[in-house]
Structures are given as structure tokens and as C-alpha cells.
Amino acid sequence: MKKKLLIATAASVLFSGSVLLYSCTKSNAETKAYPKALANYSDFKNLVNVIEQHRQERLVSLDDLLQMQKEANTVLLDTRSANRYASRHLKGAISLPFTDFTQANLNRLIPDANTRILIYCNNNFLGDQVNFTTKTAAPSAANNHTPLTLALNIPTYINLFGYGYKNVYELDELVNISDSRIQFEGAAK
């Protein structure tokens, strides 16, 4: 009986020590300093607040966008994936996928920060859910049972502005891909 009690006591002490050791290790891991990621939500939030009115004044119709595209020192920028761009894009658009946005890539593609940049995304087009898939979160309890629009235009605009490109205009119109005003290029024209 004493032997069983001794074994049980030893097991209890060993278990308690293990828990204590685990707790100390976990506590040290939780307080251990590490280098923070190069992401700053406050910077992003401040930038959004700064450009909110600026962007609102630069939302344009398809007719305006097409007219502006013909003018000097203007580029039409498609920031969708390289795959989607290759398949179908507005005629005359250049490609820089949003995932490739860096100061160096933007300077290489658009060296003059005063260049007028026209942008569009998937959420501007109806009728081709392969190449222009609508970015909308389905209704759920998490978003109060209403669809939540998650367009690429907005982060593109914010990032262009943040990189110093302030002469940006965004297509605001929802256009059917069969609209006679537009022409497409790419494998799926």
C-alpha cells in the first residue's frame, strides 16, 4: 500500500512539475519578442481616411473612361491576375497584378507619377463570371445577412495613392461585357 501511495505521490509531483514547466515555457514563448511584420494597420487606415474624398471625386462612367484613355499621358491599368488579364482585358490595358505592386514595379511600368491612371476590376463587368468574377461575400450572420462587396478597385486605388500616384480615376459603372462601347483583348476576347 505504501508502495502504491509512493508511486501515486511521485506521479503527482512529476505531473505537477510538468505542468509548471509547460506553463513557464508557454509564458516565455508568449512574452518572447520577435520582429513585427512590415504591415501597419494604422498607416493603412490613415491613408484610407486621407483619400476617401479624393477617390469619390474620381469615379467615372465608362464613356468618360474611354474618352480619357485616348488622351496623352494616360494608362489603363488592369491589376487582376496575369492569368485573367491574358484571357480577357479591356483593349489597351496594361497589366500589373495587385500582388506585384511595389515601388520598383510601379516605377518601371509607370515612371511618371503624374501619369493619369485609369483602373477597373472584376466588379465592373457582368456576363463573364470566369474572367470577371464578382468579388462579393455571400450573406451571412457575420455580415448582418447582407452581401459584402470586396472589389479590387478600392485596394488598388489606395495603394496607387500610397505609392505617390494621385492622378487615378476609377471606373464606377457596371457594364455588361456585350456592351458595344467596349472592346476586349486576350485569348477569350
CATH value at residue 107: 3.40.250.10
Confidence of residue 169 (pLDDT cuts 50, 70, 90): very high
Residue 33 pLDDT: 92
The number of distinct structural domains making up the chain is 2
Residue 99 sits in the same domain as residue 82: yes
**169 and 112: one domain?**
yes
Q: Looking at the structure, do residues 30 and 48 belong to the same domain, yes or no? A: no
- Do 56 and 14 lie in one domain? The reply is no
The Cα angle at residue 109 between residues 150 and 114, in degrees rounded to 5: 85
| Rounded distance between C-alpha atoms, residue 133 and residue 120, angstroms | 13
The lowest-confidence range among 27-31, 98-102, 174-178 is 27-31
Same domain, 110 and 53: yes
Q: What's this model's pTM, rounded to 2 decimal places?
A: 0.79
Check if the beta carbon of residue 186 is closer than 8 Å to that of residue 82: no
Query: Do residue 103 and residue 24 come from a single domain?
Result: no
Indicate if 116 and 168 belong to the same structural domain. Answer: yes
Confidence (pLDDT) at 182: 96
pLDDT of residue 25: 53
Q: How far apart are CA 158 and CA 162, in angstroms?
A: 6
Contact 24, 16 (CB under 8 A): no
> Where residue 137 falls among pLDDT bands split at 50, 70, 90?
confident
pLDDT for 92: 97
Instruction: Say if residue 29 is in the same domain as residue 45.
Output: no
Residue range 32-38: mean pLDDT, rounded: 90
Q: What is the pLDDT of residues 111-132, one digit of tens each?
A: 999 999 999 999 999 999 999 9
Residues 77 and 7 in one domain: no
Residue 26's domain spans which residues?
Answer: 1-34
Residue 32's pLDDT band, with cuts at 50, 70 and 90, is: confident
Do 55 and 27 lie in a common domain?
no
Q: Check whether 14 has a pLDDT greater than 90.
A: no
Give the Cβ contact number of residue 89 at 10 Å. Answer: 22
In which band, very low, low, confident or very high, does the pLDDT at 41 lie, cut at 50, 70 and 90?
very high
* One domain, residues 109 and 165: yes
